[in-house]
Chains A and B, each alone.
Chain A
Amino acid sequence: MHTILSSATTTVRIGDDQPFAIIGERINPTGRKIFQQQLRAGDLSRVEIDVKEQVAGGAMLLDVNMGTPLADEAELMRQAVPLIQGLTDLPLVIDSSIIEVLDAGLAVYQGKALVNSVTAEDERMDAILPIVKKYGAAVIGLPNDEEEIPEDPARRLELVRKLIGTATGKYKIPVEDIVIDPLAMPVGADTLHPSRTIETIALIKAEFGVNMTLGASNVSFGMPDRHTIASAFLPIAISAGLTSAIMDARSPQIVRAVKAADLVLNRDEWGANWISAHRAAQKAAAEAQAQGTT
């Protein structure tokens, strides 16, 4: 099953026979106090650096979150989307918990975006899915409801059933446009969390075969050497059926782990991507050295 996303000029396919879809997480003011202050002052200049760094790192899509306290988030999203689309051809993920912000971002977006996100709560589905349908976008669905983030993978699967049932039935959204987030929680809070996520991925893959994404940085939250943790977690999750992650695309270590997983799981025929990435790195290193000696 392929989830097809696009900008005005570029199409990205997410699927289990495709290279793993790296979604850059960086355009997000959460935990970035200086960026928050800039956004509050209407200054979006930092976004340009974030776009460049993530594109250079290997991002295939970019998540855009403008959630800034004491700011007009809808207006920021309305400005950020065309700004970013002017800087890169990568398709975007419009990320907000506020419905008006999603609508504002989708209204100005060129192409087919991914919406982040909707939960399995009736109220949220009834508010967000019509917007997804209206713009012909795809959507990330989270298997939690007003009661809980269920720990039990079987319970998460039930909520996925509810989500997919409502989205495809009531709102006529094609199943390939639903990307499920199996929920990744910090290994530091409970060392069983990643196993539960991986079990959930396998259950969802077996029953629905839909594409899946998750916030990979959640897993290593509060732990030292976070990149190594992500580099171990992602290939295991990919092997279980994860086809995308919202992750730190600026980390060569994590990106290379994902690319190696593509290779060993037969999503990189004859290792062409792996080898060309190696050549590009060699060339960049040689150029850097040449510059250093002149």
Chain B
Amino acid sequence: MTTEELLSDLYDKTLVGDKPAVLELTNAGLAQGLGPETLLYEALIPSLEEVGARFERGDFFVPEMLIAGKAMAGALEILRPLLAETGAQTIGKIVMGTVKGDVHDIGKNLVNIMFEGAGFEVIDLGVQVAPEKFVAAIQEHKPDIVGFSAFLTTTMPMFKANINALNKAGLRDQVIVMVGGAPVTQEYADVVGADGYAADASAAVVRAKELLAKRRATAGV
């Protein structure tokens, strides 16, 4: 198989969520001497972006998005140690969780996969995460970004409660706060005092990178 064929096959198999084939092709690519970045940026990430685009258009449905995400996550497990070896540093660390009172995690999990694919280290706190849990995780992991997810209009007020908890713990300035979820809007994100919002998983990664670059520029890093 030529490099081109392999990458195109890996793209196709990720798109349809064929995890065994994705793992096999990832290993085959590495055996052929392809770098982990090549596999990631020239097949896996573009494929998952296409999955996201098809979902947005209504051509793809939730199970298809989930199995594609799982296939990609499997490949990442193989690639992650290699990416670390080649000196490709993680571009940032993010603590993620669905807010207290809310158990929806499909969207959050997809955002996690997109972040991982983009080179972030993701610490997922799961669902129903109370403000004090976010505070403890930020103290422990010292992330660049914390992400709050809410699927219900009734749990969105937890964004504000979480931000208040960060203020109280003296952590607000140390971390970029991003919020998201189906009912969330830019306007709402602004009102509660979040630093960033995005309407979908790919946009969230783009926005996170922007915010991170801005923060690092200001900090002179």
The answer to whether A67 and B66 touch (CB under 8 A), given A30-B183, A222-B106, is: no
How far apart sit A33 and B66, CA to CA, in the bound complex (Å)?
Answer: 26
Contact for A221 among B62, B100, B156, CB less than 8 A: B62
A98 within 8 A of B: yes
Contact assessment for A69 and B62 in the assembled complex, using a CB-CB cutoff below 8 Å:
no
B61 within 8 A of A: yes
Stretch at the interface among B5-13, B83-91, B147-155, B194-202: B147-155
How far apart sit A222 and B152, CA to CA, in the bound complex (Å)?
Answer: 16
The answer to whether A30 and B153 touch (CB under 8 A), given A186-B62, A188-B63, A224-B61, is: yes
Contact assessment for A96 and B154 in the assembled complex, using a CB-CB cutoff below 8 Å:
yes
B62 CB contacts on chain A under 8 angstroms: 186, 188-189, 221-223
Contact assessment for A67 and B63 in the assembled complex, using a CB-CB cutoff below 8 Å:
no
Stretch at the interface among A146-154, A231-239, A243-251: A146-154
- Residues of B in contact (CB 8 Å), total 23
A188 CB contacts on chain B under 8 angstroms: 61-63, 66
Chain B 137-163 per-residue mask, 1 if CB under 8 angstroms from chain A, else 0: 000000000000000111111000000
Query: B76 to nearest A CB, angstroms?
Result: 20
Chain A 111-152 per-residue mask, 1 if CB under 8 angstroms from chain B, else 0: 000000000000000000000000000000000101111000
A36 CB contacts on chain B under 8 angstroms: 153, 183
B 154-212 contacts with A by CB, 8 A: 154-157, 182-183, 185, 187-188, 191
Contact for B183 among A31, A65, A148, A186, CB less than 8 A: A31
How big is chain A's contact interface, by range? 20 to 34
B 96-120 contacts with A by CB, 8 A: 100-101, 103, 106
How far apart sit A220 and B114, CA to CA, in the bound complex (Å)?
Answer: 25
A221 CB contacts on chain B under 8 angstroms: 62
B82 within 8 A of A: no
B128 within 8 A of A: yes
A29 CB contacts on chain B under 8 angstroms: 153
A-B contact pairs, 27 of them (CB 8 A): A29-B153, A30-B183, A31-B182, A31-B183, A65-B154, A67-B152, A67-B153, A68-B153, A69-B153, A69-B156, A70-B191, A96-B154, A97-B101, A97-B152, A97-B154, A144-B103, A146-B100, A146-B128, A146-B130, A148-B128, A149-B127, A188-B62, A188-B63, A189-B62, A189-B66, A222-B63, A223-B62
